[in-house]
Amino acid sequence: MKISSVNPATGELNGEFDLYSQQVVNQKIEDSRKAFGEWKKELIVERTFSIECVAEVLRDREQELAEIITKEMGKPIKESLAEIQKCAWTCDYFAENADKFLAAEFVETDAETSGFVYEPVGTVLSIMPWNFPFWQALRFGIPAIAGGNTVLLKHASNVPMCALELEKIFIEAGFPEGVYQTLLVDGPTASSLISRDEINAVSFTGSRPAGEKVAEAAGRNIKKFVLELGGSDPLIVLEDADIEKVAKAAVSGRFQNCGQSCIAAKRLLIDENIVENFTDLFVENTNNLNVDDPMDLKTDMGPMANEKQREHLSQQVAQTLKMGANILLEGGYKDEEGSFYMPTILNDINKDAPVVRDETFGPVAPIISFKNEEEAIQIANSTEFGLGASIWSRETEKAMRMTRHIECGMIAINNIIGSDPRLPFGGMKKSGVGRELYRVGMLEFMTVKSMKVY
């Protein structure tokens, strides 16, 4: 069997790749286990030096790697460049902080000396999505490897070039063979690996239904797992907010990466006293987006990642319109090659419509008005997801009080949500289990060993 890499901007074939045979998969797993036996013994300073080398490779090959991202999943080249730069920064961060994060902790007990240490769990299977093909894989992988684990990456089937390049980067950086490897396998094969004794834990980012299956398999085999399953993040604009500032930021928050981000501002909740002014500015700013060739540095938004994603989004919009929604900016299919979908803005939306009930992974922005803070909170929480949220107000203390009532794992005041290696990343409710990034994320794939010395 083969998997294909297709340029979503043109529909042209980038290349075809053979799925790995069971024999190759078995060898990769064996290599990972052998590598773990040696890698975990390395001093942290030696592991972090290797991670600094990864950062160097990423920066040296920045343009080349960014072009691969854009060719495979369609994001504008300037966003692909930013993704590579962020990956390098994350390498720097964990190289600098891993020893501090993993330092032994001493506790006073009846023993002469007591405390605990952190040790790696082993080989971690990572099942990753296509929307940030380098960032998703490395924001988990770098801290896991810094802790002494080894990683097997099963990437999304539409980004095989990115997947293979990730493995090459670690080899180029001087890592021992087997520490970070890519598996070109299909979904069922990846799921079957969870039960194997050689796999010690699983990190999954993707859809809720697929996450449920991963959690079920990991739980059945008593293995640690971390799930990041997407969101329907509210962007809440209070009456006293700087409307011009938020209307500009909301365009980036909703349409960056063609709206294909788990932490995108997927529902715009606006105070009824300013909703008309906000809407005018938001529509105007959206109209100014340059939707074009993603390889052009002037392009603000490229195509959706593939035709399947575009068709699903189109169906969500069509069903929402059937339920009475009003079109403020009619986007939809762009009349040319590729999987382009123009920004679409809706209001007067039924609360059970797909674009507010489900996660919309594309450039569609629903505008919903509210009467007061209590109603804003109720609407914000009326979803099965709980990843992120943002609140916009000139009264910071008021916005801070509201944060205590928003059901989410991350929140920003007067800015859009963004991941940051210096803070834990993750959600609550159906948005997932566990955390990535910072010390908290690093410890997800470490085990605690308590000790007493009498």
Of 230, 228, 246, 249, the closest CA to residue 238 belongs to 246
How many other CB atoms are found less than 10 A from the CB of residue 138? 29
226 HSE (CA, 13 A, CB side): 26
Return left, alpha or beta for 399; rule: phi > 0 is left, psi -120 to 50 is alpha, else beta. alpha
Query: Which one-letter amino acid corresponds to residue 12?
Result: E
3-state secondary structure the chain: CEEEEECCCCCCEEEEEECCCHHHHHHHHHHHHHHHHHHCCCCHHHHHHHHHHHHHHHHHCHHHHHHHHHHHHCCCHHHHHHHHHHHHHHHHHHHHHHHHHCCCEECCCCCCEEEEEEEECCEEEEECCCCCCCHHHHHHHHHHHHCCCEEEEECCCCCHHHHHHHHHHHHHCCCCCCCEEECCCCHHHHHHHCCCCCCCEEEEECCHHHHHHHHHHHHHCCCEEEEECCCCEEEEECCCCCHHHHHHHHHHHHHHHHHCCCCCEEEEEEECCCHHHHHHHHHHHHHCCCECCCCCCCCCECCCCCHHHHHHHHHHHHHHHHCCCEEEECCEECCCCCCCEECEEEECCCCCCHHHHCCCCCCEEEEEEECCHHHHHHHHCCCCEECEEEEECCCHHHHHHHHCCCCCCEEEECCCCCCCCCCCECCEECCEECCECHHHHHHCCEEEEEEEEC
Closest CA to 210 of 129, 313, 316: 129
Which one from 53, 258, 262, 408 is the annotated catalytic residue?
A: 262
Active site (annotated) includes residue 87: no
Query: Which of 79, 83, 165, 228 is flagged as catalytic?
Result: 228
- Please list the active-site residues: 228, 262
